Structure 1
Amino acid sequence: MPRNRMVPIILCLMLIFGSLPALESVRADNGSVSITATSLNVRTGPGLSYPVTGLVKKGEKFSIVKEEGDWIQISLGGSKKGWVAQWFTAKEAAKTAVSPAVSPNAQSSGSVTVNGLRVRKGPGTNHQVIGSFNSGQAVEVLSSNGNWAEVRTKDLRGWVSKEYITMKESKTSEAPPASTKTSGTVTATSLNVREKPSLNSGKIGQLSYGAAVTVHSQSNGWAEITYSGKSAWVSAEYLKIGGKPAADSGKAPTPADQFTGTVTASQLNVRDKNSLDGSVVGSVSKGQSFKILDEQNNWVKIEFQPGKTGWAAGWFFDKKKNGPVAAPSQSVKNSSVSMLHNGTNIRKGPSTSTAVIFRANQGDSFEILSVEKDWYKIALPNGTSGFVAGWIVSVQGTAPQIERPGAEKHTKNKTIVIDPGHGGRDNGTTGVRGTLEKTLTLKTAQLLYDKLRAAGTNVILTRNNDHYISLGSRVSSSHYQNADAFISIHYDSINDRTVRGMTTYYYNSKQMPLGEQIHSSVVSKTMLKDRGTRFGDYHVIRENKQAAILLELGYLSNPAEEMLVNTNQYQEAVANGVFEGLARYFKNN
């Protein structure tokens, strides 16, 4: 080919490849993560139930595409993406051209929110503990690495979990000009106002639906406003921000008692507190209207009889302000539900006694038409509608997330230490098909961890990746955390390949009730052969001063049982069984 004809082609190639760095920089706008586990599964979706599509190694770095809960979607090159667990990564801040990244030496003040917060030599649970802080202790925040913050006091310097530090940037620069103020409107039924930009901060008041505020600044999903003449913070997620700055009157927002609510449910219980845990003190009927005296957490306080007040679920009220202007207590507009399980039943009416008219799978999404009792009425693909139980779906949008009172109320705020057996150089037993016990115990533990954490339980894993931990360290974790329950997870093996089933071990009479409740619950969920609850002389329960048990969740030496315990369905059943067993134990003790 003549040289002069090559020139335009070469120029085109230069233009194409010259643009690639720019494309990469756009992709990196969300920041990047570095893998901290030895090897980490990459999954097709944000959860342990999604299939594994590959592995990434410790130290590898990837651009963040997006985040969902405790999961991060990463770019694997080209158009390929995948999801990894956030707790096995260290996040690096996004780089922008407008403002340089904060220097590692940029300092902030912080306050510890829990007692006994461990201070470590480095940013991770694999680093040595060098001390501890107590709630309220002031610290100087030096730098951060993923979910860890480097802090110091006059006596100690080290790394702590960011989750237990309330941080406030040091005021080293001039205050922003007044022109940066913007107006905001509250979009939630009732919005908590806090002293600081943290859920751990004290609540100083509430704003009602439609309240106007002036937003002075925003930081990490929080908006700074003026409340009762003082600086305060609210979640920016529930503000519609924009328009001209609102005048700062310094006054509290319009009180909730300027609203009237009309009952939309056929019959609605009134309780003595704003929770399903409250005792029923009366009831109201569809069409009745009441002056709303107060609102908290989607519940409204009403005078349901002369001289008698109580709380009712706010999403069953059609709320109006000053008569004509409607402000729904809980809008379902532009809201949808997402299925949490395969084979979810969609029924003809809002009750389990009605016929199943459709079945949906995990991840399927449907528009919410209305809320009836504890059920969502949803639009189906064929143009009809059906009902799905509110406690088995997740909600996107402004509709309320219905939670059925059950096991979670007994495990909430309890401290549970979950101990995945073996790890690192200690493989445990190996199944006839090659399953490593250490891998399976970690998988089970992580599922249980997610379930308990979602229910408001304080959960600690003795290990969260494939590394060796001594038996003494496992027990020390139980004592240090003052655990309400310690559960060591294992899988069994024996020379006789026909032996199968589940066994639960305890060492003393104090541990026996916990073992019996969890054992019976897991057996009923998994339908595994019941080998009983019995005495066992194992270090992690013998030396443990807390309520502690050891579970043997099936035999890897039995080929059929090895296949069963590796399935997602079995793992979910075990997690559900342990969760419900814990709830029964705490309910009775």
Structure 2
Amino acid sequence: MIRRFILLFVCFTLIFAVFLPEDKGAAANDSVTIAESTVNIRNGPGLSYQLVKQVKKGEKFTVLKEKGDWIQIQLSAAKTGWVANWVVTKSSNGTTTTSSGNSKGRSAEANTNQLRVRSGPGTSFRIISSLNKGQIVSVVDENENWLKISASFGEGWVAREYMDLKSNSTNSKDDNTNKSIDKGIVTDTLNIRKEPSTKGSIIGKLAKGTTVSIYSKKNNWLEIKYSGQSAWVSSEFVQIGNQSTPSKSTGVIGTVTASSLSIRDGSSLNARIIGSVSKGQKFAILDEVNNWVKIEYKSGKTGWAAGWYFSKDQAKSSEVAKDSKVTILHNGTNIRKDPTVQSTVLQRANEGDSFHIVSIENDWYQIKLSNGKNGYIAGWLVTTNGTGPGIDKQGAGGYLKYKTIVIDPGHGGIDTGATGSRGTLEKELTLRTAQLLSDKLKAAGANVFLTRNNDSYLPLPSRVRLASVHQADAFLSLHYDSNLDRSARGMTAYYYHSYQKKLAEYVYNSTNTQTRLKSRGVRSGDYHVVRENQRKAVLMELGYLSNSAEEMTLTSSHFQESAATGIYNGLAKYFKEQ
């Protein structure tokens, strides 16, 4: 009997071992270095495990094993812990790799042509430039679907799937190549090439009026820096030296919206800082190149500043200079009979085509076509030369600018919220949605505050207090639902006070339309964060984690992007009607 029991126990142990979660072993020389300023170490491979220690950037630890996105490390002779792989760099036999979740400070290469660069992380944001295949840029910030990049045109956002991230190693030449020998001003739209030849592949364009630093000369070609790399332009279209045509006002007045804004000696983030201006100061805009504006920041002294930090008075038709031109940003751009997207298409234009501006009507340029007739083109599809007044599409961002939004990612820390049928924790998913939404709102110029930006616990009264402290124009509490009935699914919005209902309706209708979940409607709900809130507030239940099929949808990148976009659009529509 005892032998039979022992045999059964051994068999059970062997069978159970087969189904245990597999851990990846670590090579003897594997180690990790902390890549963020402060990182939590936990007693298990997940955000729900207890915090055992906090470590600082630069600290190095031996790797014991890996499990999913988590790495077990040796903290001391008798103590171990787990760290997320996206906050460390990993070294193996002397080579270092950076986790894919930490792209800041790295470079990325476009893997397709005509990749649109937008002013914010979403397709509703204005197109500000484009990248060609092979073009390399610096990564400034990121979320799971978008990369914020820096290039010669300034900063913008591109879809992550169309960019290949590079390692942190640079391809720079020796220090001597980083010293410019002269400066020049581009006299016409100019192709940037990889080699000093017309046969060299085109990697970008420079607009008329752009200031460039020159690093070397070769025959009729000038070496410049483009997206941190060596590139070449024809000297025929560059006026060498600091001489420029006399500055004259475009008729547009710009008001500084940043608390402190740097003034540079060229229309690029790489240009030297020569001064600064403060929020609220007004300046006549003398010139404008690819979202950079030229102003007289001191008596007799001019310089360039980032145009996206200026609130501009709309230019009038009478202020259009005779030599003003628009340059097409993308192939296949429609030129229409009238200034509306419903109007007849007269012809299509391709990237780089230029047309003289006849007048401006709202967000449209009237332009002169090659056949002598006039047509209209949307102002957000083109760039203008130095004397041409720019147009920003008055989309959602225009109604969100300067609004104060408090986003409350539900639960956190010891309060995990609902747990999905597949193990998804509500507290992690709400934070994920909140961060995507925050990026969009910030790009539109809103003042955004998160009640928590990590896995921490915050009492409900404290969340409400933040809305009051910041005098929020809107408070959004994000949640995911659960029910004993596993078939329950869909989205619901809750408000408590009558003055909150309109906000709830706008946000809910837009989000539900965008995500196409089952509609459960807008309801009155007795929840602390809306009941005790004197600000306009809504609690969103963005779907059911208890429904296994819906849980798969809710955790997908596509849904997360759609939910953040829906809430963003709903807020914009709400403020538009106020």
Q: TM-score, normalised to structure 2's length?
A: 0.47
TM-score (norm. length: structure 1): 0.46
Bigger RCO (CA 8 Å, 6+ sep): 2
